[in-house]
């Protein structure tokens, strides 16, 4: 499990040491750096996955497109360099990247593995010296992580079907989710995530999970003959026929990639999810928080960015149930960089689900609004 992410001169962060847990929740105001935390990990993932032997960090690829060096370097202090460090239970790796401000990739200036420095390395595999074999576990987890953005695709007539080696993850917009479900429909899910009374095959388990969010939901995935595509049939009651996704509701197709990714994961896999609450009713948002906490409790590392207090409260309820320990949950509240307040505050959660501090702006808008209305006649 990743236990810390370090950023130096990356985007809005002059220096950040961010603790990570089995479940990490990132919250805060807009443009405060939450997405930058995820993007740092995605840049490593993207380069490792798409450019195995590259000695450069690719800022633009299939997972994320961040532009040029000038777009990602702290303009005040970094100028042309930044650092990304990751620490897990076994290794500590720190990369230093350098590039001209107009370039769309950056040279690996150095990589330090457990404080052993490799300056301007001649050969890298997955951004790591190939002779350091004890780093492969960490490299494989970063290379295979799943990143799901807030801009997930909506209902489609057909969905692409790629070879399972090419599209082994659902994709940042969930574009490969139905294909992943098709290929893995008969695979079992992690024991801790099995819905009781339901066959432990991925298609059945995904359908059962969706029924918690959308009662009566049914799934039908079929390959189009002689075409590299699959269709998705959906229904909202056992007594109705399967419909095209466009006729069922937008929320279901937004939840589907998250559920498929979670139920396709193995222990120690990493899931990065932006705004899992998109297009969900408040009750569904709370259920999403509980679901992601349940996924994290099985050994899958989950890092989410959210603006929803309902997601947070769902997590708090799961902690109170005793099914995940408080030390397995990290909460970070981000504010724009300022000399007056800390850029990141980390409230602690206890065994009863209570949070010790509530910084200004940390899911307190309801109370502010109610205090405002209290003064009205």
CA gap 121, 94 in Å, rounded: 13
Residues 134 and 160 in one domain: no
Q: Name the domain boundary from 249, 264, 279.
A: 264
Residues 260 and 333 in one domain: no
Query: Residue 281 sits in a domain of what CATH number?
Result: 3.40.50
Residues 238 and 208 in one domain: yes
Quick one: pLDDT at residue 212?
95
Residues 165 and 306 in one domain: no
Residues 10 and 126 in one domain: yes
Residues 372 and 302 in one domain: yes
Weakly modelled stretches of the chain, pLDDT under 70:
76-78, 339-340, 367-377
Residues 169 and 231 in one domain: yes
Contacts within 8 Å (CB) and 24+ apart, 219-227: 219/181, 221/178, 221/181, 221/182, 221/185, 223/161, 223/182, 224/158, 224/161, 227/158
Residues 333 and 368 in one domain: yes
- The single residue listed with the structure tokens 């399972």 is 164
- Among the listed residues 188, 206, 207, 185, the one whose alpha carbon sits nearest the alpha carbon of residue 266: 188
Quick one: pLDDT at residue 375?
59
- The single residue listed with the structure tokens 């408080």 is 326
Total residues belonging to the chain: 377
Quick one: pLDDT at residue 21?
98
- Residue numbers of the domain that contains 35: 1-145+269-377
- For the chain, the domain total comes to 2
Residues 236 and 286 in one domain: no
Q: Name the domain boundary from 200, 235, 264.
A: 264
Quick one: pLDDT at residue 22?
98
Q: Name the domain boundary from 264, 296, 313.
A: 264
Residues 311 and 222 in one domain: no
Residues 139 and 280 in one domain: yes
Residues 208 and 293 in one domain: no
């Amino acid at each position: 499990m990743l236990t810390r992410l370090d950023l130096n001169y990356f985007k809005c962060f002059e220096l950040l040491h961010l603790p990570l847990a089995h479940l990490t929740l990132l919250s805060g105001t807009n443009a405060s750096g939450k997405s930058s935390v995820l993007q740092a990990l995605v840049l490593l993932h993207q380069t490792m996955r798409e450019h195995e032997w590259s000695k450069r960090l690719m800022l633009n690829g299939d997972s994320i497109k961040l532009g040029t060096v000038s777009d990602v370097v702290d303009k005040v202090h970094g100028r042309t360099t930044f650092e990304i460090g990751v620490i897990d239970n076994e290794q500590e790796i720190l990369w230093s990247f350098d590039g001209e401000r107009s370039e769309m990739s950056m040279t690996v200036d150095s990589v330090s593995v457990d404080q052993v420095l490799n300056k301007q390395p001649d050969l890298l595999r997955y951004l790591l010296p190939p002779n350091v074999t004890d780093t492969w576990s960490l490299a494989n987890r970063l290379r295979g992580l799943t990143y799901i953005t807030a801009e997930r695709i909506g209902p489609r007539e057909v969905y692409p079907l790629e070879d399972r080696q090419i599209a082994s993850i659902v994709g940042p917009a969930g574009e490969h989710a139905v294909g992943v479900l098709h290929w893995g429909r008969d695979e079992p899910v992690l024991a801790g995530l099995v819905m009781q009374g339901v066959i432990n095959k991925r298609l059945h388990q995904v359908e059962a999970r969706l029924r918690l969010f959308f009662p009566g939901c049914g799934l039908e995935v079929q390959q189009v003959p002689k075409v590299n595509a699959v269709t998705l049939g959906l229904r909202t009651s056992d007594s109705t026929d399967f419909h095209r996704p466009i006729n069922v509701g937008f929320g279901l197709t937004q939840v589907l990639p998250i559920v498929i990714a979670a139920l396709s994961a193995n222990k120690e896999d990493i899931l990065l999810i932006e705004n899992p609450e998109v297009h969900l009713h408040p009750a569904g948002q709370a259920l999403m928080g509980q679901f992601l906490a349940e996924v994290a409790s099985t050994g899958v590392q989950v890092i989410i960015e959210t603006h929803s207090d309902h997601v947070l409260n769902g997590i708090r309820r799961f902690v109170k149930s005793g099914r995940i320990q408080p030390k397995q949950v990290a909460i970070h509240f981000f504010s724009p960089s300022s000399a007056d307040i800390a850029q990141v505050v980390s409230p602690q959660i206890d065994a009863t689900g209570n949070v010790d501090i509530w910084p200004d702006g940390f899911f307190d808008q309801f109370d502010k609004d109610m205090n405002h209305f209290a003064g009205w006649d």
